[in-house]
Chain A
Amino acid sequence: MATLVQAVRLALHYGETYLGVTDIFGEDVGPPLGGVFTATQGLKTAWNTPLDERGILGMAMGIAYAGGRPVCEIQFCDYAFNTIDLMKIAGNQRWASGGNYEMPIVLMTPSGSGIRGSLYHSHSFESWASRLAGWKIVMPSNALDAYGLMLSAIADPNPVMVLLPKALLRVRGEQKIPGEPEDEEELKRMIDAPVGDRTGWQPRWPPVQEYFVPLGKAALVRTGHHATVVSYGRTLPLCVKAADELRDSDGLEFDVIDLRSIFPYDWHAISQSIMKTGRILIVNEDTEVTNFGEHLLRRVIDHHYYDLLVRPRVLLGQHIPGIGLNQEYEKNSVPQLPSIREAMKALATEEA
């Protein structure tokens, strides 16, 4: 099976071949490197830019104004903070001009912790991004969703930010991307650039097919009647693992919802699950003050206060200036499997 980052590469190949993508660009995005995580190796429209994040986003906006379809990359979301005002402008162009101009850009950027990235390769971005009205924000937790969400991001005529969980980029999917070869070694030989001299290397693209994951559509990845867990990105597979463990050890069964789209989010899926379980935990690793999960919690309280059996809760990253390199810092800063399992068990077993 393809890794998440291979899935992104296949989606971009599909995008530039069939969906009209004209430019894929960013720092180290073009040859020879093809992206610091290899997301853009071998793509025919990929090119390198100056190390200028504001320039990258400005270039994307300009290309879109002139009729192109750009996909730009900020190498790590940790370096996107100096582009926030341009993100605001990209999000407001259509609204501000009364529909005169559209802004069909895709910005992809790795987000979150889990690669021992210290202060500036461990940031999360979805809570910041969720405040950018006019954008759509997605965050896949597996390879197939990364493929399908990237295709939707490209095809949607609005600005779409694709947050890629850093920790999961090299994780293989459990489901095949349509058109992907059976043998993952064969896929690697076909589309991964060789280490060392890459002069003359060309990818052999498998005949990948159209596969859209709609924006605003969550996935129910485990079902259970005891409680609901909502997550996305790096913490989603941890929630799934915790759910499986608690099912085996304690007989507790959870609805685990992979939100996939941060905005628009699938309120219907959350709401429906709460009506079933009356218990909800929201898990993500962004810092806890003014966290996107708090917004979901507010919706839960507004709409389901009288449907809840126990207090709704969140498990989020600590409100600290950064994530330290020593792993004692990291594992105590953001949710990990033990803390997630503990929170889920407490949620499911609290007396109503």
Chain B
Amino acid sequence: MNPSNLLSVALRFLAKLYPASKRWLHRFHGGVFPQYYKSLSATQPIRKAFIPEKLILPLEQPVGLPAETLVKVGERVKKNQLLAQASKDPQKALIVPVHAPTSGTVMAIQPMTLPHPSGLQDQCIVLQPDGLDEAIVNALEVDGSHPGSPEALKSTLLHAGIVGMGGAGFPTYAKIPNQRGKIHTLLINGAECEPFITCDDLLMQTRAQEIVQGALITAHALGASKIICGIETNKPEAIRAMQEAASNTPVEIRSVETVYPMGGQKQLTLELTGVEMPHKAHAVDLGLLMMNVATYAAIYRAVVHGEPLTSRLVTVSGLGLNKPFNIHALIGTPFSALAELAEPKVTLDYPLVMGGPMMGFQVQNNDVPVIKTTNCILANPPEPVAMQMPCIRCGECMQACPVNLLPQQMYWHTQAHEYDKVEKLNVFDCIECGCCSYVCPSHIPLVQYYRHAKSEIKAMHAEEKATELAKQRHEFKLARIEREKREREARLKAKKEAVKKEALAEESPSAKKPEATAKSAAEAARAAAAKRAAAQKQSQKSDDSNNPPIPPARLKAIEAAKKAAAQKAQQKNEESSASSKVNREPPKSEQDEKKPDAKSAAKAAAMKAAQKRTQAKKQASTESASEVTSAKKDARQRAIEAAKKRAAAKKAELQPMAEMETEQACSDSAFPQQADVKDNTTAATELTETTTSTPASEKETARRAAIKAAKEAVAKRKAASPSKTEQTENTATPKPDEDKRKKAIEAARNRAAQKRNAANESQQGDK
């Protein structure tokens, strides 16, 4: 007899005097020794398969997002057919596909009560089996070979819809790491420590080979060298069967002490490997991967036979049943149907429990379906609830806690709603095993408090996150508004400046026109946004382009045009100023309109409009001065009409320009301009002709000329700043004497003021 055996025998003897000494036999802290009632169902053979009247298949698993349905109501499906599938990246969203457990017809896709403690409803596929159980063989289309890489295995597991069948239900494909060799030890959880539950026990007895093969497949894919299986000592049959199956394989079968909660992942890992999982660490990071025996069996069936996970072994047990049993239940079988098979002692008017008595929860509706994580359906008649007494701080719970927490402290803080303190006491490491509640002499439902605290803390963190997000978004919005305001102000400033410049430049001598224009353009460009400046320059250049870059062939036409060119330039100037004043669109669209012929078409249209305008103005001028406004309106209407006609020419951007021109002309009551316009029309015709034939390459020369002109203007400005006033002088005024100049300046100022007023008015009118 070896020393460890001797020790265990001695301790067992001691346990009669001091029960807690049994805790020294296992490696983790605490634990309890409840009454197991396992023989109720373990002694019965597995009941033969049973197809219920309807199957309810939730689209959502306990973990992750719901899958998307692929079938319609009324559709006939075969066993193993894919019914719902991940629409998003399943790896991120943890979506598990749903397969038909048997052949039948889809009756409905509607919200049904879920086997969840909340009793909430969610979308489920309701299937009416036809009893034929017609199956798609090898639904996953596998060739039976063992996958050599984690990716291959993961893809199969994803399509098979396999989740952790021990209780948590985490999708297995998401649990397995991507890198081969990351897992050095594969662990098989056959402990099954909860009272009443025997499904893993019976699975190991009947399908030991499948479990071992499943483990070997997984180890092969992941490159794990060691496989250890832990089975509690209270399942000797299972241990024997597994040892038999594992002989001549690297799988090591170990019996572990019978203590609750030995089947907890952290506890069994510690027991089997001696590694205690650190706070917040995942077993995978430590090179360990533990899965339930049922999961391994499912992996085997998926990889070798191509069968998706559509049924599982379920224990139907409890003190309220006459014939408890285990059964390969189809996923989706209602609890009540299975419980009825076990012949309840009294009618099932009390809620059934999903899971064991320690960790399970009462379902809100006994018709909820079996899901992939349902290991047990428990029918225990309600017992009188022991009255909850105040905590006496005995510390029993602390002794029993398998994770070394301070249950009592957490209880007090939870009661006081001090959830931050509960979190600091590591409530999230609590596995909700229920040991503390089990030992509590005051019958305090401690685990309920921790569950409540956990959900409160989770909600708190979610809220914090939302708050932070809201703050960010609000700040962003404020910044955006601020930026928009600044931009608007900058634009307005630039516009005003441009208007001012134009007002000055308008009256300048025609000979200096291009310079003045270039100058104002330069000013505006500096102030305005880059885009706008570019647009404006473009328009300016295109104006200038009419003058310098003329091929010899067109010289004659140019000669003829030259006389009118000055006025034309002036007119153009007005146009551009008007457009920049009122609407930013025209220059932009002018820029857009790169093609010369488009340009010419636009000019032709403008010309027509100008003619109409002239008529309108003539009418207006015949009318009395008091009727100027009405005339203006009339003119504008005509202009609009003209613009509508021009719609065919599709140069809509010229419309506001034309309007503006009209307005300006009227407000200035400029009689000479009428003549100008007439001249303009002829000039424009000629110019149009020139531009039409002007190839694109000439545009470049035109631009260069414009730049040159602008440079000259700048140089002139620098040379003689008083010449600024000169420029403001009227066309009619030649280079004058001192007093003449003064007069002219006075006149120009008046005009400028007038002009500004007019511009303001028109702007307001537009607004």
Asked if A and B bind, the verdict is: no
Instruction: List residues of chain A with CB under 8 Å of any chain B CB.
Output: none
Instruction: List residues of chain B with CB under 8 Å of any chain A CB.
Output: none
